[in-house]
Each structure stands twice: as structure tokens, then as C-alpha cells.
Structure 1
Amino acid sequence: MKPKLRIGLIGSGFMGKAHVFGFASAQKVFDLPYEIVLHTIADVSVEAAEAARAAFGFAKATHDWRDLVNDPEIDVIDITAPNALHKEMALAAIAAGKHVYCEKPLAPLAADAREMAEAAEAAGIKTQVGFNYLCNPMLALAREMIAGGELGEIRGYRGLHAEDYMIDASSPFTFRHDPAGGGALADIGSHALATAEFLIGPIVRVMGDCVTMIGSRPDGKGGVRNVEVDDVGRAFLRFENGATGSIEGNWIATGRKMQHDFEVHGTKGALAFSQEHFNVLHYYSTSDARGRQGFRRIEAGPDHYPYGRFCVAPGHQLGFNDLKAIEVAGYLAALAGEGPEPFNFHAGYRIQTIVETIQRSSAKGAWMDVVLA
């Protein structure tokens, strides 16, 4: 009989639902060390919480997230609330001795993320930050090829995360537009940064350019609010291994729904990837005969763990929620002492530090070193 792991989820929106799907799929796909129990869900009102409880299969519902923290039966607090609320919720959970799974970005400020990471480490709490794009078997393959020298010396990297969900200037001001919790670089550029470090290694120096293209938005009450955060955040990068590159986070990229792309250029070969077709990795080798050179298509399949856990046939493809299931499985393995935390609060703090360094670099118009305080 497996021990039960009781989950308390805060938030039932897009990411809350994705987390629920991740827990549900992970139980069917992986041999988990725990039996997952969806214990209690919290949302902004009793009505919203009850609706989510019925839809997702939780045993209880509440409109106060503190009920989850104070419930001795709950083992893991899962936070999918707006960014500015992450710190208070996570610190309360840590103080109550509960493990914490939190969506990215970990906190609006690097100082807050550091405080959260240090509190978790001091209390022996295991944490996870939701960067599930890193769980794609194709990214694992890319990192394996890079580390194994198949591309030779890595010279260049280009990363991009572009969507168009903020393109309409008449759409209202949201928590993502608040300086305390938003901006394209922090919201989606953080994915580009996490992928860059996952593949190439530590970023040590940046030159940023953060731009606000839509300067005000309706406040939903008949007025307008000024927008101070970036709609587009870009940066040139220097990596610890000597490679150079760039990333971009852009939420006003017309026509783009999920362009989380990268290219890696080495002395022996190159890789190209797009999240819009994320079951495919393209590989170029300089060792191919002249007249036969070109990017070849590597299709995801059972040879690329853990694809085979989901499907025995290549080319049938994984989906976004499958990546959440892989993320959940990795975190539960860490909780059981079967491996390290895949992407803990310290890793989330590092990404937020890079984001802020890029923002400061943009304001100063100068290159800046990435330094964890």
C-alpha cells in the first residue's frame, strides 16, 4: 500500500487546471511513490471553489487559502494564484511544514524569491517551480547531444518565447501588468531563460532591452491605468562556457500562440526546435556529405524517455498537460527521496535574478553581470 500524498491547490484557472491534469495523468502513467489525494481546493469565492471542487474531484473546497495551510492533513500546497501572492502563500506553507509546488515566476522580486528559497532550505521543505517545458523529452535529448559533444564547441544560442495574448490594446489591465507581478520578460521570457540555462549552462552576463508598446489599458471600471511593465523583453547573453546568444519574451507577437523556440549552433552541428511542433527536434551535422547536408527531423518516440510511458508508438505526440505529468512525477520522486528536486525554489530564484538583471541592464543601457545576492 502506497502512502497517501494529500494535495491542497490554490487557484482553479488555466494553470490550476493544468496541475490537476498533471496529477491525474501522472498517477496513470508513472509508478509513483505515493497515492495522490486531491484534498482541498481554494479559490477567490465559495462559489468558484465549489465549482472547481466538483469539476476536478477535490474532497473539499474553501474561499480562504489559509485553510489549506492550517489543515494538518494536507502534505503539499500547490500554488497557481497570481504572481504577487506567491510569496505570502509559500512562506506560510513552509512555516506550517508543508512541501510547496508553485507556478512560475516564483515571485515578482528576486529578493522575495531568495527569501522563499532560503526559508524552504532552512526548514527542510522540498519545492518545485512550474517550468514544465523543460520536461519535454526532446529538450532532454537536445541537452544530451550538447553535453555529449555531438554539436562540438557551442558558439551560439537563440531563444524566443512569443505569444499574442496581450496584443489587443483595449483588453483590460490585469495582474500581469502590475509592476508587482508582471511583464512579458518575467511572465514568458522566464521560460526562454530557463531553457537557455537548461541546455547551455549558466548565464553570467546580459545586455537588456525592455520595451512597453501599449502604455495604458482600461481598468475595468470606466477609467484607464498606465502600464509600466514591458510588452517585449530582449537580452544578449554571455554564458559561462564562452558561448553567446540572445533571448526574447514577447506577448504582443501577432499570430503567435506558443512560439517557445531555440537554436543552438556548434562547431560540429546545430539544433533547432519550436514548441509549436514540440514533438520534433531538428539536427544538422557538418559530418554529412556535401550535397547531403541539411537539418534532419528527429521525431519523438519511445526511445526518448518518458515518451514511451504515454504511448508505445512514435509520432503520436505528447501534449502540454503530459509535460505537467512528467513534472509532477519528478517532484514526487524528490519528495520520496528518490532523486533531487527537478527545479526547486533556488532555481526559480536564479531565473528571477536574471530577469531583474536584464531589466536593470535595459534601464542603464549597459552590460551587467548576473550575481546572486
Structure 2
Amino acid sequence: MDSVGVGLIGTGYMGKCHAIAYSAVATVFGLSTRPRLELLCDLGAEQAAAAAAAFGFARSTDDWHKLVSDPAVDVVSITTPNGLHPAMAIEAARNGKHVYCEKPLALTLEKAEAMAAAVREAGVKSLVGYNYTKNPAVSHAKRLVEQGAIGRLLHFRGCFDEDYLADPALPHSWRMQKEKAGAGALADMASHLIHMAQHLCGPIGAVMADLTTMHAERPINDGSHAATGRVENDDTVSALVRFRAGFSGSLDSSRIAWGRKSRFAWELHGSAGMIAFDQERMNELQLYQAKGPKAEQGFKTILSGPAHPPYGNFVPAPGHSLGYNDIKTVEVAHLMRGLAGEETLYPNFTDALDTERVMHAMLRSAKEGQWVSLD
């Protein structure tokens, strides 16, 4: 296999991220297996054709059923609203296509499980877009934990805050509808936080969560100043968690946090130190080690560079920094190598069920007002 035919469904923010990564990945990584941009799908034939020309795809369609059955397409990228993921992924798998899907997998755990079953039964490969764990700084943090740099893990504290819906005058959209988005801040941002926590600390065994909707109505863009739509999902999430390894953690997320642009920040507390990270400074890792003279102990800033692979594939000099789309390119490189049989894809649909189960346990906990076990 020297090339992989790519079909992309959706051309919004994440669709463009996928297209950028597919276009850059061979240049950055010198892969033996390269993506071939075959077919793009979006609503409306004219819009799809314009996006295909802009993104570098050979052809376009406004019918996703045609894309997932097209003989030139080997892998389907799904970047649509969450509620559309299951039908597209399942049909793609049944047509023998590999599936690269954005998170979360589905609106319900049952549909997420059906997606995992479909790719397993079809014998195709899958990958879910939890790209933040592909950051070289995060990979180094995981290595530090595994090497015992901060001793035994004692606590995880994390938050993911943004202000993209902080203004109550911003209009209603699909992201506020349970039928299309499912949960709100929980699905959109806290899903990444849950995945990161489990990536670094192992499985979560129990949760206690609270979800709130602070802007219950939002204006509808129909030309009327009076029309509003009900916000059906959560603006904020707060949760206590217990890891199966025997320690606790806290997870918080808000989509209405003024001033926060992408504050995906977390701390790992250990018996001999601490590691801290903030996505708004995504090329820096903070390390505290409780050793040496007390007067000289303090946090050390580790700046990403070629010593933290695959940073060096992008730039040979430390301190020049990677960006969000670079991390997506790392993810697509992993996808290409996985499809070529050179790496095991992670997280695949089955792996991602671990995050989905925690999310739905949080929804149940918030509804029932009590701890929920994942055993």
C-alpha cells in the first residue's frame, strides 16, 4: 500500500483541520504510505465542490452514502455533528472502509458500542480524534510518569475551559441541541479531559458529577429579535473521580468561561513531585521534583524541542513551537502508519468506549445526584 484514498465528510472547523493534516503529513513525516485526497462531502453540491477545490480533493458530492461506498475511498474521515457519526461510521465499515472519526463517538453509549462492533465485525481499522494526547509535551509527561519522575501518582486535577459561548447574546446552534450534539461542554471538551486523565492515570472507576445550564435561552438567527431557542445541554461540568489505581481526581469544564480560549490544563500530583500542563502554552511542561536542597527546589519549565519526538519532524530548533494543526498532523501520521500495519491505532473505537462510558456515567450521576460506579 503506497497510498490511501481519503474521503472527508464535513468541511467545518474540524473538517479543515483534517484536510490540512492530510495535505501536510507526507511532507512532515516522509511516510511510505501517503494520503490521496479522493472525495469530499458537504451539504449542497456547490458548497461541496468549492470546498473540494479549496482543500485539494479530486472530487466532491453532497451525498455521504456515495462517499462511504466509493471504490476509490479507503478511509472515511467523519467531522460532522455528533449525532451523525454512528450511521456514517457503521455504513462505512460495512462497505469495507477504515474510519477516522471525531469525538465523541455518539449521543448514546449503545450507539457508540454499535460503532465499535461494526468496525470489529467488518475487520476494518478505526481511530478517534483525541489529538491532544499526540502532543510531544504530553507524550514526554507520560514518559516521566512511567519512569517514576514524580513517584507514585496521588491525584489528578484537570480543567478544560473556553469562552466560545460566554456571551449570552450569541445565537442558538446545533451544539445546544441534544438531538445533534448530545451533551454540551461534557461532550465537546470534557470528553478530551476524561481521555487525557485515563491516558495518564489509567481507568476511572467511579464518578460524582454536576452539570449546569446557565444560559437557558439563546437568540435564533431568523431575522426576529424576539425568537429564542432553548439550550438543551450543559454549559458547565464539575466532577469528582476515583481512579481504579486507588487515587482521586477532579475534572471541570466550562464553555462560558470569559477569557479562556483553550485552557486545557491539568496537574499530576505524585509522592515525589508534580507535572503541570496548559494547552494555551502547549509547548511547555512544568516539572517539580522534591529532591536536592530545599532552598533550590522549584518548578522547572521544559520547552518542547527535537528531544521530544516527533517535534523534530516539524522544526529542528527548540523553542520555535508547534501548533494545534501540527498535533493533528501527528495524529494523521499515526493513522497512515496504522493503516499500513506499522503501528497499532490508538484510541480506536473500542478504546474510545472507555471515555464514552465515563461520560455517560457522569450524565447518570448528575441526574441521580450520587456516585456512579463503572464496574
| TM-score, reference length from structure 1 | 0.97
1:363 Cα deviation from its structure 2 partner: 1.3
1:107 Cα deviation from its structure 2 partner: 0.9
Structure-1 residue corresponding to 2:252: 248
1:164 aligns with 2:163: yes
CA distance in 2, matches of 1:370, 1:295: 35
Please tell me the residue identity of whatever aligns with 1:133: Y
Aligned residues: 370
Deviations 1:162-215 (A, max 9, x none): 000011222222111111314101111101111101111111111101111011
Alignment of 1:101-112 (within 5 A): 101-112=100-111
1:7–1:36 CA contact under 8 A, matched in 2: yes
Q: Could you list the runs of 4 or more consecutive aligned residues of structure 1 that deviate by over 4 angstroms after TM superposition?
A: none
1:232 aligns with 2:236: yes
Structure-2 residue corresponding to 1:207: 208
Structure-2 residue corresponding to 1:350: 354
CA distance in 2, matches of 1:37, 1:244: 45
Structure-2 residue corresponding to 1:133: 132
1:87 aligns with 2:89: no
Deviations 1:61-100 (A, max 9, x none): 1111111112111101110111110111111101101000
Structure-1 residue corresponding to 2:289: 285
Query: Identity across aligned pairs (percent)?
Result: 42
Gaps of at least 5 residues in structure 2 are: none
Please tell me the residue identity of whatever aligns with 1:362: A
Moved more, 137-146 or 341-350: 341-350
CA distance in 2, matches of 1:350, 1:35: 30
Structure-2 residue corresponding to 1:67: 66
Q: Secondary structure, in 3 states, of the residue corresponding to 1:9?
A: strand
Structure-2 residue corresponding to 1:305: 309
1:185–1:234 CA contact under 8 A, matched in 2: no
CA distance in 2, matches of 1:3, 1:303: 29
CA distance in 2, matches of 1:166, 1:58: 32
Q: Secondary structure, in 3 states, of the residue corresponding to 1:291?
A: helix
1:322 Cα deviation from its structure 2 partner: 0.6
Gaps of at least 5 residues in structure 1 are: none
1:228 Cα deviation from its structure 2 partner: 2.3
1:160–1:248 CA contact under 8 A, matched in 2: yes
CA distance in 2, matches of 1:290, 1:3: 56
Alignment of 1:1-373 (within 5 A): 3-180=2-179, 181=181, 182-221=183-222, 222=224, 223-371=227-375
Please tell me the residue identity of whatever aligns with 2:20: F
CA distance in 2, matches of 1:74, 1:343: 22
Deviations 1:327-368 (A, max 9, x none): 011111111111211211112222111111011111111111
2:275–2:287 CA contact under 8 A, matched in 1: yes
2:34–2:336 CA contact under 8 A, matched in 1: no
1:300–1:307 CA contact under 8 A, matched in 2: yes
CA distance in 2, matches of 1:261, 1:356: 22
Q: Secondary structure, in 3 states, of the residue corresponding to 1:81?
A: coil
| TM-score, reference length from structure 2 | 0.96
Moved more, 173-182 or 123-132: 173-182
1:3 Cα deviation from its structure 2 partner: 2.0
